[in-house]
Structure 1
Amino acid sequence: MADRPPPGGLGLWHTTTLQSAKAKRDHQQQLTCHTTTIAGQKRSIVHELLPQTAIAPDQDEAIAKKRRLTPFRLGSSVLSEPPRLTASAIKSVDDSVIDGGLSEYSQRRAFPSTPTSTVDPLLSLSHLSYGLPKQLVANFAVLGIKTIYPWQKQCIMGPGLLQGEKNLVYSAPTGGGKSLVADVLMLRRVLDDRDAKAILVLPYVALVQEKVRWLRNVVNGIPREDPDGKKSPGEQKQQQHWTKRADKDTVRVVGFFGGSKVRATWADFDIAVCTIEKANSLINSAINDCSITKLKSVVLDECHMIDDGYRGYLLELMATKLLCLEQQVQIIAMSATLTNIGLLKDWLQGHSYETRYRPVPIEEHLVYDGKIYPACTTASLIKAATQLNPRSQATQSSVQNFRTISPSNHKEFKDSVLNAVVALADETVRAGYGVLVFSSSRAGCETDAVLISRVLPSFQEADPIIQEKRLDLLSDLRSLSTGLDTKLEQTIPVGVAFHHAGLTTEERELVTKGYDMGTLKVCVATCSLAAGINLPARRVILHNARMGRDLVGPAMLRQMRGRAGRKGKDEVGETYLCCRQNDLEAVVDLMHAELPQISSCLISDKRRIRRALLEIIAIRLATSREALDDYVSKTMLAYSAEPGSIQEHVEASIAELQEMNFITADHFSNFQATQLGRAIVESSLDPDHGIFIHDELSRALKAFVLDGDMHVLYNFTPVSDLGGISINWRVFWNEMEKLDDSGLRVMNFLGLKPVMVNKMLHGGTLKETTAEEKETARRYHRFYLAMQLRDICNEFPIHKVAEKYGMPRGSVQNLAQTCEGFAAGMIKFCEAMGWGAMAAALDHFSDRLKAGARSDLLALAKITFVKSRTARVFWDNGFKTVASVASADPNELLPVLLQAQPNKVRLEARDEKKYRDKLLVKAKIIADSANRIWQVQMQQEIDEE
């Protein structure tokens, strides 16, 4: 047959995961040798042989030694593997599907090939029509973008887009290359004008940090002039692109997010990558001080979140303010899950574009009761659900599943869904591909990762190079201040890890990097992180479609399934949604459900329209009634709600703002914000929360407890819910008993009573019926969080705080970072209210919270990599100033860094040189950072003289 792959030609013919796994398994069976386990039971162990050219004669003995089935050592601890399990076999219903060379996957169909730049010159970013510098095009090429897709060309070349004259709303599938369109248009605006600013808005901190790294690579090294000194007429026209600034060679990219203390000023960046809240605050400040004229481009990523009432509605406020400006600011809105794109097009008065193109096609499957069904069409899904339903009169025999997962003899895999997840993951890894598993909870993530790790080839069976990389990853994780998670210690040696909010940011970054580099083959993540991570995989497996107890929505499901397929690495992506009988119909409905249409949520909660009106009055964008009406007419709300209903809400909101003393009106009916109203806007508070904060701080000013930490830290804790953190009343009681006189005075001042804590400890209920009861409950909650902040500021490691309060490490770190951002808002609030002394006290403790250290270490904590424990070790070793670190040789800092490591990790009898070299690189970065800080300090002293 013409389609049959040549025998043994695994590297010469594109194969499916199933074909690769089967061929590889047949090949390995010829190489199987038998050994005896410690328990004396016989089992088969597969040894992958390396190509002859990869093994030098003098390496044979070393490699053989590494592959012995004995426990391996990290430092002084022995990592003995748990009992191995066997994944269930996955059998084809019709073997001819596999052996006949006929693939069930979509890459076997005739896909039209994507045109190249040789066919269409506009598919090259170097084309003069795009007006991009050569170095920028070269940077894109280094990052893997040598040509663009036809849809990207058509979108970019839309009317007035490259010139910045029109706004753009577009939708493209996850993995379809939608970010590049926004990048090109945004960079054109920044490069066209040496003073131009651009803002890129993303919903999550992790995405902000990732995008900052990407853009810095994109704009790296753009020269101020053509190196050849010769320019064609077309290139002479682009001369302005090569002189971004007289004193800078590259575009400056800065990230703004919750835990960041970077001051939001236009002078420090050309492109600001922001979370939603930070972007809104940045635009408010720029309008208020009239520097908004420099803003030329705003990109709204994940713009489908605009109808998220919790925080997404701020996107609508931002865009509406920009539409009200007299200047032209190009707004670029994009999403993978937009349905009623016409509404956004009309609202933003721009151009729209939609595509369903994916460079890597996805084949979708439904897994139920150990059987795998194709889910390529709505019709087949509905048919499968109807016929598989026990209540249906149809016979199950008419449903055509094409593969079957055998039941398992292991008690761990008695659950058919778990058995399917493990079997599918095992098949993918043994075929040489990466797999991403989505689980419904953090505990489920860890359980899935551990069980998958127990069926995969053992550490000793891995290639020696991969063994080395996995040990390095374990070493990096163990070197973190939190130490090495015991479950990750078990799973990483076989190439498996998990990724959820319970891990710290540093742990998640190392796991992500390990997976992206191929060191890890399996990553198990929670559904809630699907939109906040960029981890593409050959195969995506959904361990049911739930987030906690509830089914995920169609948009979230599409986000998860969209992670399948790696551009440049895979010709196809595969998704498998595993479900139970009770969920079958709901899951099928979910899989073929239309995405919900977005709409404005400004009047779904009166606080949102109230905040919108307060903001534009406070920043003086609209002060008359006519201007307010004009602003409201430019909201998306005006395009999706009845005018009469809108007017009623506006009238009621203005009256409430006046009643709350946030705004006043003169006899000409012009509005202006009061000092309190301006303070609330400058600190980015919700108006209702602003009243509570104002009352709390006003009371504190009369009797502020400054002989301890608790009162200040209490004011750092956010008013709104922090991810559902509940009070452990036993811990509360224990910590309360340890409070000194200062802490007890704070409790008494806040009205928190030990008798109430004791009552709650013994099963009482904290009532939240009346407004007064809600405020009291809020104070107990904030004081409980303040106890955790106190420990962090007093140099307790995050993992110790997590153990003490029974919380995941990542949750404690997130608490600290969130409170850093909230503290910055409180400082602005106090400054706006004229409470300078309070602002100074809060600012000092904000630095302590960021450093995780006491006051004596604050100077050292400004140095890169020197925080909390490391700063204390530096101090104890005589490096007590930035100048002393700056003047030290990196080799002098090496012993200090060795002492600061929680555990020194290396293989037994292994040369320490590699380990010390890594720390020496870190020592050089620390010394360079200290030098830069010291030079700035010296220059400031000279300027003051």
Structure 2
Amino acid sequence: MADKPRLLGSWHTSAVQFGPENPQRYPTTPVAGQKRGYAAFSSQQDADRNGTGLQRRAVLPRPHSTIRSDSDSNGAVERPQLVASAIEYPDGSVTKNDGPSEYSQRQMFAATPTSTVDPLLSLSHPAYGLPEQLVANFAALGIKAIYPWQRQCLCGPGLLEGEKNLVYSAPTGGGKSLVADVLMLRRVLEDRAAKAIVVLPYVALVQEKVRWLRSIVSGIPRADAANLDMPDDSHGFWAPRADKDTIRVVGFFGGSKIRASWADFDIAVCTIEKANSLVNTAIEDCSISSLRAVVLDECHMIDDDYRGYLIELMTTKLLCLGQPLQIIGMSATLTNIELLKRWLQGHSYETRYRPVPIEEHLVCDGKIYGSETTAALLKASAAQPDTGSQCGLPGLQPMRLIKPSDHKELADPVRNAVVALANETVRAGYGVLVFASSRAGCESDALLISRVLPTFAEADPLIQEKRLDLLGDLRSLSTGLDPKLEQTIPFGVAFHHAGLTTEERELIANAYDQGVLKVCVATCSLAAGINLPARRVILHGARMGRDLVGPAMLRQMRGRAGRKGKDEVGETYLCCRRSDLDAVVDLMHAELPQVSSCLISDKRRIQRALLEIIAIGLATSRESLDDYVSRTLLAYSTEPRSIQEHVEASIAELQEMQFVTVDEYGSFEATRLGKAIVASSLDPEDGIFIHDELKRALQAFVMDGDMHVLYHFTPVHDLGGVMVNWKAFWNEIQQLDDSGLRVMHLLGLKPVVVDNMLRGGILRESTAEEKEMARRYRRFYLALQLRDLCNEMPIHRVAEKYDMPRGSIQNLAQTCQGFAAGMIKFCEMMGWGAMAAALDHFSERLNAGARADLLALSKITFVKSRTARIFWDNGFKTIAAVANAHPEELLPVLMQAQPNKVKLGAKDEQKFKDKLLAKAKIIADSANRLWEMELEYDYE
């Protein structure tokens, strides 16, 4: 192909070929403090031998060698090493040396103006009014200047003063979060009583944002708010106190152990559901007046068919308050931003700037095409039907060719391409993210990629040690070490999906972030669920399960390519089959869908919206109801007559369900049941089911066992996705005691139905009664799993017993913890105090994953479930006993608590003991704090 002048987004040489500085040598030691380090070749001989594509010489495949799947001698299974396919240019060469790439040359020039050119690019500029310590904290985290687009956005009319709302769009990796952080922190620092809420869609993002914000506000007492009006401090009233005057950042999400209230935070980082509940409570008790900023991250999710309407409900309530409040919405995938601008009555801003440009490629039949040629692919594909050959598409010159593999494991051209591209990236010293369509696909790809990479013995010694540490950390978890991770981690490869526990996913993400792992194979949910960028992103197909991903999800995945400060360019490779080519090319060129309201796509949503504002007292007359509806996003995108019809029908149904009453003056008031449903964050339809279930329990509650209480902790929504293992269900009900059997009888559950399902029967759900009964069977099945967790059975044992992923069992426990809190509120609002007390006691057991005798010990940091039982068995039965023990005395107990006994060398054994001793010190400190609180409480 003739060389052409290259434009941004159009080039014909893989940036991986050139490396960070020199095309033949790479740094071998990660740089401390960097986002991600680069581990590379142990020698140039390795580079030549392994066919990295960095040399012109021909690459000879290695003979099969035998390696172990782990570095120790714990009976690891031996397996043959594979050789990844070579990636060549059409002329047969492995590299194409046309001189340094455009992106290498860009380093010599100032691609972005600096603060010396434009003073407003410095966060210390007086216009932003940020305290010196805050600016220093940003600088310590690598943010020493802002981009021109961020300056333009922040300096929009009335934004820094908090007078206008803002909605803006910027690509993933473009720095959009910083704008919201600056505006939100200004609002919090302006007023001692001010509060802010940050709304995020996923728990992992909430946890990540909490850590980030705590780093940003570290050491900033409110009295230090530079350039902001503060009261006279002549009497020392505003003197900083660690517990009062520092900015408190608290996370709110399902399964959180923290039961914080409105008074306990300055910045609340919440999931969508928790944010809506928090706002409801604050409006009802009139404490909402202190709210000064709300950040809606990923605000394109407002049209998510399952949860998006909650964002609209909450935001509309805030727009009705009539108080000084700044709403900031942001997203990487907004198209009709003007609609949201009109709805929020604010300012809008759009940019396509990315600090690291992304090169996009399509891989089909072992041929790599540039994204600029994909439009021609459809014509070429139509001209040559799918014959299963790898002869390419006529009339199109591929950029590079991936040679077929001789290994049967890599016979599939898509899998072969994924493995070859990942191998090339790692051997060049870079990190790679691979997106697979399923959990099984993640694990399969990770195992194959690990078999083509350099062996453990060939890795850098420092990286070897860190990977062994990672394996040790994973082994020390209560869930033990996943056998497949044990095979892949020594080679710098791991997988990341919902089947893993939260602790496993966090350890893997951190190790990848630090360069210890070079390859992370993940499901599509990782693209939006956590911030893990890479030099190269490889998509193994474009499907999530059986369906193609949407344009927004595709953009999220591809947006993970390129790391600011580490890479000159990011690369994405979408590997697909010929049969999917038409759909994939259409997907690559598809426009992002326009966001819209989904408030009337399901009748329950408009019902819930009206019930909530009546229950919290925000609207009690028809005029105020109409005012609320007129401020919804729905009112800006739907015909008024249609909206009016839905409102009228919803009000009538709320009255019919006895959630709302109307007096003679036309004023609306929520009934006790209506208020209970809102307080427990239930949909109206689910609220009716829960009310009937609890009323039945009040008439005959089984108190001599756990099953009845735990049944009421299981969620009622989204149960259609619960996969019941009927064999496990049958085995468990055969072992139920009299108490458990009475619970089944009271719920109307019959063993004969379970037996019929085991023999291939169908759980009928055609009528309303059948749907309710099916819901009870699924809830009882989940309650059996909760029972095992509360009786201190480890998560991995429960997972094995019910044939479910460990992450799913852990997620069930966390979901049920949040749902249990809602059930307790429901009972309290209904005046069922005894039932609320019983549920509350068992909710503590669910949180602790332990029996009642361990509830006190389980409050200590790191002492949960199995560890608490081992402490008890060793005589540490109270918090005081642990508090009075020396950390050295706790060390043997922690050694017993390790789930896997691994033979370690003397050096590793000492390192392992040192880690446990550090853990013992944290445990002792935590016990001391809890003991002091107990003594203080007793004294008072």
TM-score w.r.t. the length of structure 1 is 0.91
Structure 2 counterpart of 1:187: 185
Once the two structures are superposed, the pairs formed by residues 195-274 of structure 1 within 5 Å of their partners are: 195-223=193-221, 235=227, 248-274=244-270
User: How far does the alpha carbon of each residue in 1:103-156 deviate from its partner, in whole angstroms, 9 at most, with x for none?
Assistant: 777666899710011111111111111111111111111111111100011111
Residue identity opposite 1:745 in structure 2: R
Q: Distance in 2 between matches of 1:107 and 1:613?
A: 58
Once the two structures are superposed, the pairs formed by residues 41-190 of structure 1 within 5 Å of their partners are: 77-94=74-91, 98-102=95-99, 113-190=111-188
Q: Distance in 1 between matches of 2:649 and 2:437?
A: 42
Residue identity opposite 2:172 in structure 1: T
Task: Give yes or no for contact 1:81–1:490 (8 Å, CA) kept in 2.
Answer: no
Q: Distance in 1 between matches of 2:501 and 2:19?
A: 40
- CA-CA distance at 1:571 after TM superposition: 1.0
Q: Is 397-406 or 692-701 further displaced after alignment?
A: 397-406
Q: Distance in 1 between matches of 2:315 and 2:162?
A: 16
Structure 1 counterpart of 2:30: none
Q: Distance in 1 between matches of 2:230 and 2:63?
A: 63
Structure 2 counterpart of 1:382: 375
Residue identity opposite 1:150 in structure 2: P
**Aligned partner of residue 353 in structure 1, secondary structure:** strand
**Aligned partner of residue 474 in structure 1, secondary structure:** helix
Q: Is 137-146 or 107-116 further displaced after alignment?
A: 107-116
- CA-CA distance at 1:70 after TM superposition: 7.4
- CA-CA distance at 1:162 after TM superposition: 0.9
Q: Distance in 2 between matches of 1:491 and 1:459?
A: 10
CA distance 1:436–1:16, shift in 2 (3 Å): farther
Once the two structures are superposed, the pairs formed by residues 810-889 of structure 1 within 5 Å of their partners are: 810-889=807-886
- CA-CA distance at 1:224 after TM superposition: 6.2
Residue 343 of structure 2 is aligned to residue 347 of structure 1 = yes
Structure 1 counterpart of 2:44: 27
User: How far does the alpha carbon of each residue in 1:658-715 deviate from its partner, in whole angstroms, 9 at most, with x for none?
Assistant: 0000000000000000000000000000000000000000010000000000000000
Residue identity opposite 1:208 in structure 2: V
Residue 681 of structure 2 is aligned to residue 684 of structure 1 = yes
Residue identity opposite 1:436 in structure 2: L
Q: Is 319-328 or 283-292 further displaced after alignment?
A: 319-328
Residue identity opposite 1:672 in structure 2: E
CA distance 1:812–1:107, shift in 2 (3 Å): same
Once the two structures are superposed, the pairs formed by residues 314-393 of structure 1 within 5 Å of their partners are: 314-375=310-371, 377=372, 380-391=373-384
Partner residue of 1:615 out of 608, 612, 623: 612
User: How far does the alpha carbon of each residue in 1:295-336 deviate from its partner, in whole angstroms, 9 at most, with x for none?
Assistant: 000000000000112111100001100000021211000000
Task: Give yes or no for contact 2:189–2:228 (8 Å, CA) kept in 1.
Answer: no
Residue 615 of structure 2 is aligned to residue 626 of structure 1 = no
Task: Give yes or no for contact 1:106–1:361 (8 Å, CA) kept in 2.
Answer: no
Residue identity opposite 1:141 in structure 2: A
- CA-CA distance at 1:267 after TM superposition: 1.2
Residue identity opposite 1:290 in structure 2: C
Structure 1 counterpart of 2:634: 637
CA distance 1:9–1:809, shift in 2 (3 Å): closer
Residue 524 of structure 2 is aligned to residue 527 of structure 1 = yes
Structure 2 counterpart of 1:731: 728
Q: Distance in 1 between matches of 2:565 and 2:437?
A: 30
Structure 1 counterpart of 2:32: none
Unaligned runs of 5+ in 2: 7-12, 27-37, 51-59
- CA-CA distance at 1:244 after TM superposition: 9.1
CA distance 1:108–1:91, shift in 2 (3 Å): farther
Partner residue of 1:925 out of 922, 926, 939: 922
Q: Distance in 2 between matches of 1:880 and 1:25?
A: 52
Structure 1 counterpart of 2:9: none
- CA-CA distance at 1:99 after TM superposition: 3.6
- CA-CA distance at 1:182 after TM superposition: 0.5
Q: Distance in 2 between matches of 1:856 and 1:739?
A: 23
Q: Distance in 1 between matches of 2:418 and 2:691?
A: 52
Task: Give yes or no for contact 1:32–1:45 (8 Å, CA) kept in 2.
Answer: no
- CA-CA distance at 1:277 after TM superposition: 0.3
Task: Give yes or no for contact 1:191–1:240 (8 Å, CA) kept in 2.
Answer: no
CA distance 1:914–1:359, shift in 2 (3 Å): same
Q: Is 453-462 or 302-311 further displaced after alignment?
A: 302-311
User: How far does the alpha carbon of each residue in 1:806-855 deviate from its partner, in whole angstroms, 9 at most, with x for none?
Assistant: 00000000011000000000000000000011111111111111111000
Partner residue of 1:418 out of 407, 415, 419: 415
Partner residue of 1:432 out of 405, 423, 429: 429
Task: Give yes or no for contact 1:106–1:363 (8 Å, CA) kept in 2.
Answer: no
Structure 2 counterpart of 1:312: 308
User: How far does the alpha carbon of each residue in 1:257-291 deviate from its partner, in whole angstroms, 9 at most, with x for none?
Assistant: 00024334221100000000000000000000000
CA distance 1:878–1:353, shift in 2 (3 Å): same
Q: Distance in 2 between matches of 1:391 and 1:684?
A: 56
Q: Distance in 1 between matches of 2:48 and 2:312?
A: 62
Residue identity opposite 1:518 in structure 2: G
Structure 2 counterpart of 1:275: 271
Once the two structures are superposed, the pairs formed by residues 534-933 of structure 1 within 5 Å of their partners are: 534-722=531-719, 724-905=721-902, 907-933=904-930
CA distance 1:854–1:335, shift in 2 (3 Å): same
User: How far does the alpha carbon of each residue in 1:327-375 deviate from its partner, in whole angstroms, 9 at most, with x for none?
Assistant: 1211000000000000000000000000000001000000000000000
- CA-CA distance at 1:585 after TM superposition: 0.5
Q: Percent identity?
A: 73
Q: Is 83-92 or 303-312 further displaced after alignment?
A: 303-312
User: How far does the alpha carbon of each residue in 1:864-890 deviate from its partner, in whole angstroms, 9 at most, with x for none?
Assistant: 111000000000011111111111111
Structure 1 counterpart of 2:29: none
Aligned residues: 899
Task: Give yes or no for contact 1:221–1:249 (8 Å, CA) kept in 2.
Answer: no
**Aligned partner of residue 79 in structure 1, secondary structure:** coil
Task: Give yes or no for contact 1:73–1:908 (8 Å, CA) kept in 2.
Answer: no
Once the two structures are superposed, the pairs formed by residues 401-550 of structure 1 within 5 Å of their partners are: 401-550=398-547
Q: Is 927-936 or 429-438 further displaced after alignment?
A: 927-936
CA distance 1:644–1:102, shift in 2 (3 Å): farther
Alpha carbon RMSD of aligned pairs, Å? 2.8
CA distance 1:750–1:10, shift in 2 (3 Å): closer
Residue identity opposite 2:438 in structure 1: S
User: How far does the alpha carbon of each residue in 1:714-745 deviate from its partner, in whole angstroms, 9 at most, with x for none?
Assistant: 00000112582211111111100000000000
Q: Distance in 2 between matches of 1:565 and 1:97?
A: 24
Residue identity opposite 1:194 in structure 2: R
CA distance 1:577–1:666, shift in 2 (3 Å): same
Residue identity opposite 2:379 in structure 1: T
Q: Is 467-476 or 889-898 further displaced after alignment?
A: 889-898
Task: Give yes or no for contact 1:71–1:78 (8 Å, CA) kept in 2.
Answer: no
Q: Distance in 1 between matches of 2:323 and 2:602?
A: 31
Q: Is 380-389 or 424-433 further displaced after alignment?
A: 380-389
- CA-CA distance at 1:73 after TM superposition: 6.9
Task: Give yes or no for contact 1:722–1:815 (8 Å, CA) kept in 2.
Answer: no
Task: Give yes or no for contact 1:203–1:276 (8 Å, CA) kept in 2.
Answer: yes
Q: Distance in 2 between matches of 1:550 and 1:72?
A: 34
Residue identity opposite 2:253 in structure 1: F
CA distance 1:70–1:697, shift in 2 (3 Å): closer
Task: Give yes or no for contact 1:864–1:926 (8 Å, CA) kept in 2.
Answer: yes
Task: Give yes or no for contact 2:169–2:349 (8 Å, CA) kept in 1.
Answer: yes
CA distance 1:71–1:580, shift in 2 (3 Å): closer
